[in-house]
Amino acid sequence: MTTPASFANWKLFVKRWGWWLAGAVALAVLIGYYYAKSPQITEAVLASTLRQSVPLVLGALCGLLGERAAVINIGIEGQMLLAAFIAFLVNVYTGNLLLGVLAGVAIGALLGLLLAFMSVSLKIDQIIGGTVINILAIGLTGYFYKVGLSAHGKLNPIPLGPLTKIPLIGTVLFNNPPITYASILLVFLVHYVLFYTPWGLRTRAVGEHPRAADTLGINVYLVRYVNVVVGGALAGLAGAYLSLEAVGSFERLMTNGRGFVALAVMIFGKWTPFGAWGAALLFGFASALQTQLQFGGQVQIPHQFIGMLPYLLTIIVLAGFVGKARPPAADGIPYEKEG
Amino acid sequence: MSEVLALEVRNIVKRFPGVLANDHVNFALRKGEVHALLGENGAGKTTLMNIIYGLYHPDEGEIFVNGEKVTIDSPHDAIRLGIGMVHQHFMLVPVFTVAENLILGAEPTKGWTLNLDAAREAVRRLSEQYGLEVDPDEVIEDMPVGVQQRVEILKALYRDAKVLVLDEPTAVLTPQEVEELFVIMRQLTERGVSIIFITHKLKEVMAIADHITVMRRGKVVGTTTPAETNEQGLAAMMVGREVVLQVEKSPAKPKDVVLEVKDLVVEDERHLVAVDGVSFEVREGEILGVAGVQGNGQTELVEAITGLRHIRGGKVLLRGKPTPERNPRYLIEHGMAHIPEDRQKHGLVLSYTIADNLVLCTYYKPPFAHGLQRNQAAIVENAQKLVGQFDVRTPSIFTTAGSLSGGNQQKVIVAREFSRPIKLLVANQPTRGLDVGSIEYIHKRIISMRDQGAAVLLVSAELDEITSLADRIAVMYHGKIVAVVDADKVTRTELGLLMAGSKIAEAAPAV
């Protein structure tokens, strides 16, 4: 009944992983075909897919850390936006990119603390708490934004030596700027923490049956606080990615709904880091394709329609394909201690 | 008292707003004994245990563990002192495995990583040591309730519990599972574990306890042993007066068929078949009891009959006429009364006053409505009459239903349903969670409805309730009626076996 990985259990293995395997092979064949046909475009689309997925996967990790501990965070959009702005401002006034990123992470964590305070301690409806953060971020960034500020550079790709020489994979995977690398590492890290450490076990218990955790001496409030704050830091990193890595500047409302798409990504990924990564890549691909179609000029469709692609995908995925995804049982319910 | 006690509490006082939940309670647990804590709901048993387990903080009093004075501020402290608790509603994470639930909060690790192998090993070691068989890799939600309970006990043993508190452990078990639990409890006490057994079931106390402490209204009434007393005596101690345990009733005089259910198929929320081709009939002047362990389709059956749930196949006929699907008002107007399983969710609007709750079925008709307007005077008059007639203890008829005790809430429902002219009564778990006094009252009322010629469908997981009220008994197992038997021709053991899914020759259908 344990992992059916051994050869003797190959039937079970095929039954369990067969569809995934078939999908992966089909995908590889498809990519190979297009790479043989037009290598530059394929490379560009795939590299863009990865980069477009970065804020989504970071946002989704933020969302799932919170929801695994039963705190719904719909303020990811606001956390990203304010973090993008603060990261940009710090960079403008200090000239330092690292300080900018750290400031973004810190402000994301701070907004996470605000959300945790509202939803865990004050037990405000979590949807309202998240909305407060979104409105706050739009208001603050809109009010303090000044036209004409410019960042001192942006985070540049760091080629990983000889690995970049591998055709296709090298350019796509091993020649990326730092936050893109970080986002991939974070997927693995969050998966490890969530499923292989005591902290992760406790987090999931708090999200499923907080009273059970409480009766075993686990501090439910502390677990929720820490997860929401760490999640906020990840959303902050996504914000810093947008202003200091992707664009190198700040624009009003530059998150453009990515915080909400990140929630769709989290749900599509069934509240797991790898699921979220896969979903984020799918959405990233939709965005990359959209850009390619708009500027490639091969297709004669009004650009407004092509621009809808990622959002259309969100709606289709959420309406039709989520299926039996089961959120943590206590998701969104504030915890009341007895006595 | 030279003997060192496993646990002792002295003069515990706990106040809640408006209630003295524990009033100078004294309680002593000897090593290696089963000590039953008996009392009605609201007597303060669970409050006392929550204090011992650190979930509540006492206002006054002292706690001693192994003769030493201790303070218990949190479950963490209790666990450290060797106190384990098996809660009435299991504290297991349904999507976790046995091993994961076992180690939660006290996880063995290798470096930073959870050591699940050590957890599995611990499950096996404890299972063997105490004779509690479970598979460490099974997921909780796929397990029968009785086995889940074993996991709860293992959880406490894993934390080296020397004192084990079992809060109403038999409420969810079949009679056979109760027997198994008692065997386990004996094995535990032989290995030096002391057990506090909280219950309101007299039979079980007589069967297993070494000592019995009875609580009433926050106070300890007395401590006794099974040898010194009997069920009658214990019931009198619990309630404070003599109680009739066996309801008096005359033989049934069944007449015309009122409710007929034919090949009924009903699905649950997950679209799985919950009621699987069930047929039966209930006649005027008889009580058909539906026995079965909770979760075998009873809830869905009742909801389909009372018009609350979609019917997938088959028919429900009321006095020979097919009932329109999902139309409770039709049923109510044609003489159906319903005491729902969850009185707080489906029986009452908790935020409404008692007066308004009493007209929930009839508010739109004269005399309670004049066209579009409500007739407040008639509603008040109705409430005053029913509150007196059905003995609802409330400060006022304008009190909200949510602030009443469980027993009084149930009386409000009974008053509402029984005050209409009814042909059919569907009662699902009508006395769940009620005290002995209220149970006695509700039972009398149900019998008198029968004697007035109503057909009664009684669903209950309490075997005692079924055997003392029903004229015929239908046993439900996995969505099917496995047998219909006359109540006076069947033993508890046979019923227990049927409820657990086994077929016996004696239990041939006797419709």
Q: List the pLDDT tens digit at each of the 511 positions of chain B.
A: 447 899 999 999 998 877 788 999 999 999 999 999 998 777 888 889 999 999 889 999 999 999 999 999 988 899 999 999 998 788 999 999 999 999 999 899 999 999 999 999 999 999 888 888 889 999 998 888 888 999 999 999 999 999 999 988 887 777 778 888 999 999 999 989 999 999 888 888 999 999 999 998 889 999 999 999 988 888 888 887 776 667 778 888 899 999 999 999 999 877 889 999 999 999 999 999 999 887 889 999 999 999 999 999 999 999 999 988 889 999 999 999 999 988 888 899 999 999 999 999 999 998 899 888 999 999 999 999 999 988 888 888 999 998 887 778 999 999 999 998 899 999 999 987 777 778 888 899 999 999 999 999 999 988 888 988 999 999 999 899 999 999 988 888 888 888 877 765 444 444 3
Q: Which residues of B touch A189 (CB under 8 A)?
A: none
Q: Which CATH number applies to A44-147+163-168+175-321?
A: 1.10.3470.10
B104 vs A213, A329, A338: nearest CB = A213
CA B304 to chain CA centroid, Å, is 22
Domains of chain B: 7-239 (3.40.50.300), 246-335+423-511 (3.40.50.300), 346-420 (no CATH)
Q: Please report the DSSP string for B405-438 in residue order.
A: -HHHHHHHHHHHHHTS--SEEEEESTTTT--HHH
Note the pLDDT tens digit of each residue in A180-193: 999 999 999 999 99
Rounded distance, CA B117 to CA B121, Å? 6
Rounded distance, CA A36 to CA A54, Å? 27
Cβ distance B75 to A211 less than 8 Å, yes or no, reads: no
Report the number of secondary-structure helices (H) and strands (E) in chain B.
16, 24
A339 vs B50, B93, B155: nearest CB = B50
pLDDT at A316 over 70: yes
| Residue in A271, A44, A98, A61 with CA at minimum distance from that of residue A185 | A61
Amino acid code (one letter) for B251: P
Find the closest chain B residue to A211 by CA distance.
B91
The neighbour count for residue B326, using CB atoms within 10 Å, is 15
pLDDT at B325: 82
Residue B153: C-alpha distances to residues A215, B132, B198 (Å): 14, 9, 15
pLDDT at A137 over 90: yes
ipTM field: 0.85
Cβ pair B11, B60 in contact under 8 A: yes
B34 and chain A in contact, CB less than 8 A: no
Distance from CA of B96 to the nearest CA of A (A): 8
Query: In percent, how much of chain A has pLDDT > 90?
Result: 56
pLDDT at B244: 66
Note the pLDDT tens digit of each residue in A318-330: 776 656 678 898 8
pLDDT at A293: 79
pLDDT at A103: 97
Cβ distance A213 to B105 less than 8 Å, yes or no, reads: yes
Q: Which residues of A touch B16 (CB under 8 A)?
A: none
Distance from CA of A102 to the nearest CA of B (A): 26
Cβ pair B92, B101 in contact under 8 A: yes
Cβ distance A213 to B74 less than 8 Å, yes or no, reads: no
Rounded distance, CA A226 to CA A113, Å? 8
Note the pLDDT tens digit of each residue in A66-94: 999 999 999 999 999 999 999 999 999 99
Among B22, B47, B95, the strongest candidate for a mutation testing the A interface, having the largest count of A CBs within 10 A, is B95
Note the pLDDT tens digit of each residue in A212-223: 999 998 999 999
Rounded distance, CA B37 to CA B198, Å? 5
Distance from CA of A19 to the nearest CA of B (A): 25
pLDDT at A338: 64
B91 vs A201, A211, A329: nearest CB = A211
Residue A1: band (very low, low, confident or very high) from pLDDT cuts 50, 70, 90: very low
Any idea where the domains of chain A sit in the sequence? 44-147+163-168+175-321
pLDDT at B1: 43
Cβ distance A202 to B105 less than 8 Å, yes or no, reads: yes
pLDDT at B511: 39
B324 or A203, which is more confident?
A203
Three-state DSSP class for residue A315: helix
B76 vs A204, A217, A339: nearest CB = A217
pLDDT at B188: 92
